[in-house]
Amino acid sequence: MKIAYVYDAVYPWVKGGAEKRIYEISRRLAARGHEVHCYGMKWWQGQDDIEAEGVHLHGICPARPLYCNGKRSITQAAYFAGRLLAIRTNADVLDCQNFPYLSCFSAKLISRLQGPKLFITWLEVWGEYWREYLGGKGRAGQAVEWAAARLTDRNIAISRRTQRDLLSLGGREAQIVPPGIDCKMISEIAPSGPQSDLIYVGRLIEHKNIDQFIRAVKHVKSEIPDVKVLIVGDGPEIDNLKLLARELDLSQSISFLGFVEDYNYALSLMKSSRIFVSPSTREGFGMAALEANACGIPVVTVNHDMNAVMDLISKDTGLICQPEEEDLSRAILTLLLGQSINKERCINAAKEYDWDAVCNRAERVYEQTS
């Protein structure tokens, strides 16, 4: 098959769950003999079209910042969607990521004019959250999402929760192809030297609720004065979060490591920690939480209708608490001071999402409907 992916951000120049998912699946599909192309913004230097690990990468336009004032840029999304219309492809399958939506409509037009069968991979469904995100303009976001859900009958969801939300939006049935992990590679990584009690790895943006995590650490410190916390990642909230840590007198307890270029080092930091904390109320899947389980550590996450991390967590792999600082701190203290989580059970639960198994699933979905 000839398979084309559409997403504005491209791994490894932009590191996020959606980018990594495309990277891991596409290079495995290429290794199996499929011709794979990825169309995104040009984040690299040199030629517009390059090949990496058997995958053809096409930089269809100069890269522009993905965020503006802490939110996904609408002008960037419109710019990418417009430039996407200029591509020419003879692909059998065109898989466009639903976010940030506008490119889905360009992909639909390409499908009609050039022939590839259109798949839309749903990373998240926002629904009513649009109004919280954009205020009065949220109705427009809802309308765009509603229309995108009706562009094709070949939808892919990355989690059961996203599949459910797509159906509630009135979209057609979606098959599940989740993100994954390289279990063998993770098993071979040694713990890092610095040890911590709590760790967060991910983007520092508003809905991740790292401020709530920091306030919970203040409560935890009253019980464990020498608690050590690592916050790994960068984003528009980083300065506010550092200021909050100083205001709460937590500068000696919390270390901000910023963006970590070396993925393996981030995993080694997880292996040297006792608990991974995921306070986000909006996750389409929760890759970092899955990686934490694969590293053998439990996850504390929050109970929220838009948090798909909950679907990954059982009594054997972590705790789910209410999305407020006191309950978050109680869950953390439960694991630090009392309830133990078996390391091997965390690792075994994560093996269901090994990348090779995920690639098998993607290949079957494309073949069944192509």
Cα gap 86→132, rounded to integer Å: 34
Q: Give the amino acid at 251.
A: S
pLDDT at 369: 63
Q: Which domains are present in the chain?
A: 2-180+354-369 (3.40.50.2000), 183-352 (3.40.50.2000)
Residue 213, exposed/middle/buried by CB under 10 A (0-12, 13-18, 19+)? Answer: buried
Cα gap 14→18, rounded to integer Å: 10
Tokens 């040694």 belong to residue: 190
Cα gap 203→172, rounded to integer Å: 31
Residue pLDDT tens, the chain, 370 long: 999 999 999 999 998 889 999 999 999 999 999 999 999 999 999 999 999 999 999 999 999 999 988 788 999 999 999 999 999 999 999 999 999 999 999 999 999 999 999 999 999 899 888 888 888 888 999 999 999 999 999 999 999 889 999 999 888 789 999 999 999 999 999 999 889 999 999 999 999 999 999 999 999 999 999 999 999 999 999 999 999 999 999 999 999 999 998 989 999 999 999 999 999 998 878 889 999 999 999 999 999 988 989 999 999 999 999 999 999 999 999 999 987 788 999 999 999 999 999 999 999 999 986 5
pLDDT at 287: 87
Contact 221, 250 (CB under 8 A): yes
| Planar angle of CA 360, 366, 370, nearest 5 degrees | 150
pLDDT at 306: 86
Q: Give the amino acid at 309.
A: V
Contact 99, 136 (CB under 8 A): no
DSSP E strands: which ranges in 218-329? 229-232, 254-258, 273-278, 299-302, 318-321
pLDDT at 313: 94
pLDDT at 75: 95
Cα gap 186→190, rounded to integer Å: 9
pLDDT digits (tens, 9 = 90+) for 44-68: 999 999 999 999 999 999 999 999 8
Q: How far is CA 302 from the centre of its chain?
A: 16
